[in-house]
Amino acid sequence: MTTPLILLGLSLAALAAAVAIPGLSDLVLLAAPSALASLWLLLRAALGKDRRKWIVVDGSNVMHWKDNTPRIETLREVLARLIRHGYTPGVVFDANAGYLISGRYLDDGALARMLDLPADRVLVVPKGSPADPVVLATARDLGARIVSNDRFRDWAEGHPELQEPGWVVRGDYRDGTLRMDLG
């Protein structure tokens, strides 16, 4: 919110200079649209235009929840539950996820189509890169919780939020029924 406020101040100062000082009238062409754009950004930040409740799903972990067998259907059921509870899910996969569920590599778009999600909410990390740091960083950036049974032990030192109760939503299937504590 600080950046739009600074931009608004600078734009208004330039606009005032353009009106007050002869020979700077052309500055109005730059200052006026800049002032309007920064005002729009400021209002958007103040009103919280994006009121979505983000949640990051560890797709490679969650697809194993039912019978410890990787299934896209398991992930679909978890996503449907999250959406019913008002969350906007994003899903992060290890590079091998496609091989596990279809026997071939699947990219972000292919997995997004299988999950009926927009492609910009699904990410397959590059081969050789672990998904865990991406899951953790994305959740931190969005101020979101994580859905996973992973303990993220290798990353706990850099992510104290892992110790907060409910920050990682765990789940499983009991007698064929999905259980998740969304609290």
CA dist list (Å): 20 to 7, 8, 43, 130, 172: 20, 18, 27, 58, 68
CATH of 53-180, one of 3.40.50.11980, 3.30.230.10, 3.40.50.1110, 3.40.50.300: 3.40.50.11980
Residue 43: predicted pLDDT: 73
Residue 171: predicted pLDDT: 96
What is the C-alpha to C-alpha distance for residues 145 and 159, in angstroms, rounded to an integer?
13
What is the C-alpha to C-alpha distance for residues 40 and 169, in angstroms, rounded to an integer?
36
What is the C-alpha to C-alpha distance for residues 169 and 183, in angstroms, rounded to an integer?
9
Residue 9: predicted pLDDT: 78
Domain chopping of the chain, boundaries: 2-47, 53-180
Residue 27: predicted pLDDT: 78
Residue 49: predicted pLDDT: 53
What is the C-alpha to C-alpha distance for residues 106 and 96, in angstroms, rounded to an integer?
8
Residue 1: predicted pLDDT: 60
Residue 46: predicted pLDDT: 67
| SS3 of the chain | CHHHHHHHHHHHHHHHHHHHCCCCHHHHHHHHHHHHHHHHHHHHHHHCCCCCEEEEEEHHHHCCCCCCCCCHHHHHHHHHHHHHCCEEEEEEECCCHHHHHHCCCCCHHHHHHHHCCCHHHEEECCCCCCCHHHHHHHHHHHCCEEECCCCCHHHHHHCHHHHCCCCEECEEEECCEEEECCC
Residue 179: predicted pLDDT: 96
What is the C-alpha to C-alpha distance for residues 2 and 152, in angstroms, rounded to an integer?
33
What is the C-alpha to C-alpha distance for residues 167 and 174, in angstroms, rounded to an integer?
22
User: Tens place of pLDDT for every residue, the chain, 183 residues?
Assistant: 677 777 777 778 877 877 888 887 787 788 677 777 777 777 766 666 557 899 999 999 999 999 999 999 999 999 999 999 999 999 999 999 999 999 999 999 999 999 999 999 999 999 999 999 999 999 999 999 999 999 998 888 888 888 899 999 999 999 999 999 887
Pair of tokens at residue 104: 């071939």
